[in-house]
A = this chain, B = another copy of it.
């Protein structure tokens, strides 16, 4: 080991983000390295959801006006905007990332008539690929092209490219400015999936055409909190998407016979917003408004680098590989290891209080959320992983039984 636990404790003491940990409810004895899957709850979420339930019982249907429920997709979008480097009036919040992909891709196709190809990165999270597949199959004359080498993939038929800023398996990140510029130079539109980047470091979508993402990973918005779609202002007057719901209508309460899109980002809202699911997200955003994203990135790099250094001390001798990049500049806030017995290893580790997750076929994922993780947590997690590997108790039958959701 290259560092002692005492040295990690000293890093914690000097951590400018250290005080945020107290704002999250984390079970005693748990080191939570799955914040890249579902973030931890801010302590204020119970009060936030109770407040919305109170709005319902006090105001009943009047809450749509008096409590601002109807505008939640846009007011929440404006609060998210700084986290992805864009301005107000550019993000609509609602539904899931899957649905946001339909909005972005169908709008992009409309903006590039004559171009019939959607480029989809095989490294995207499955729902991105599946949603594009379903959409394109329904549309006559379009096709999906797998992204391989970017320059070889781009041609005059490509309408848009859907890629993820951070790869959900490897944890590695793309240079979004560079990729966006190349895609746009080829006449295509760039759509970024930010699920594994927003809240992990400063994101800059100011030159992208579209972006989508969830709010329940690094942002800590709660299980199934609403997703978002970003649309660059240069496209907002022209962009029309497939999911033309009443909330996106220019006059939703005029009950006109035909659809007429609202001005601006509101046209990217669809159905009645899931009001209650916005509440924990707002509690989380109350925290984010006080966070320096540059400090988040600095700490993220330090945490992931520390974990890699510590695992380097024993990993290879037990067959653990490093899937993530060794170059911190190319990593998000996640470290992925590989092992053919990854699943029972992750489960055995959980029994020691260290929560990572497993992704088929052989990937152990560890997310490092800088708002609530300490350097000592990283030290203890690596130590526990070393113990699991050394003692080999992951070989026990009970760790091999699959849970329904893994």
- A-side residues, CB < 8 A to B, are 25-27, 30, 32, 34, 37-38, 40-41, 45-46, 49-50, 52-53, 56-58, 60-65, 69-71, 95-99, 102, 106, 122, 125-127, 129-131, 133-135, 138-141, 214, 216, 222-227, 241-247, 249, 252-259, 270-277, 279-280, 355, 357, 359-360, 403-406
Contact A127 B223 (CB under 8 A): no
How far, in whole Å, are A49 and B274 apart by their CA atoms in the complex? Answer: 14
> In the complex this chain forms, how many copies of it are found?
2
Contact for A98 among B49, B60, B135, B271, CB less than 8 A: B271
Contact A106 B224 (CB under 8 A): no
Contact B49 A276 (CB under 8 A): yes
Contact for A139 among B139, B274, B405, CB less than 8 A: B139
A107 to chain B, nearest CB (A): 11
A135 to chain B, nearest CB (A): 6
Chain B positions within 8 Å of A106 at CB level = 138
How far, in whole Å, are A360 and B140 apart by their CA atoms in the complex? Answer: 38
How far, in whole Å, are A141 and B139 apart by their CA atoms in the complex? Answer: 10
Chain B positions within 8 Å of A243 at CB level = 98-99, 102, 131, 134
Chain B positions within 8 Å of A277 at CB level = 224, 274-277
Contact A270 B98 (CB under 8 A): yes
Contact B404 A65 (CB under 8 A): yes
Contact B274 A226 (CB under 8 A): yes
How far, in whole Å, are A331 and B45 apart by their CA atoms in the complex? Answer: 42
How far, in whole Å, are A223 and B71 apart by their CA atoms in the complex? Answer: 13
Contact for A70 among B64, B270, B404, CB less than 8 A: B404
Chain B positions within 8 Å of A271 at CB level = 95-99, 127, 227
How far, in whole Å, are A63 and B63 apart by their CA atoms in the complex? Answer: 30
A263 to chain B, nearest CB (A): 15
Q: Nearest CB to that of A270 among chain B residues?
A: B98
The 3 closest A-B pairs by CB, nearest first: A96-B271, A134-B244, A98-B271
Contact B406 A253 (CB under 8 A): yes
Chain B positions within 8 Å of A226 at CB level = 274
Contact for A224 among B38, B60, B224, B272, CB less than 8 A: B272
Contact B246 A98 (CB under 8 A): yes
Contact A258 B133 (CB under 8 A): yes
A-B CB contact pairs (8 Å), 21 listed: A26-B60, A34-B60, A38-B64, A40-B60, A41-B56, A62-B355, A63-B223, A64-B405, A71-B404, A96-B270, A97-B271, A127-B271, A129-B259, A138-B242, A139-B139, A223-B275, A224-B272, A224-B274, A253-B405, A274-B274, A276-B276
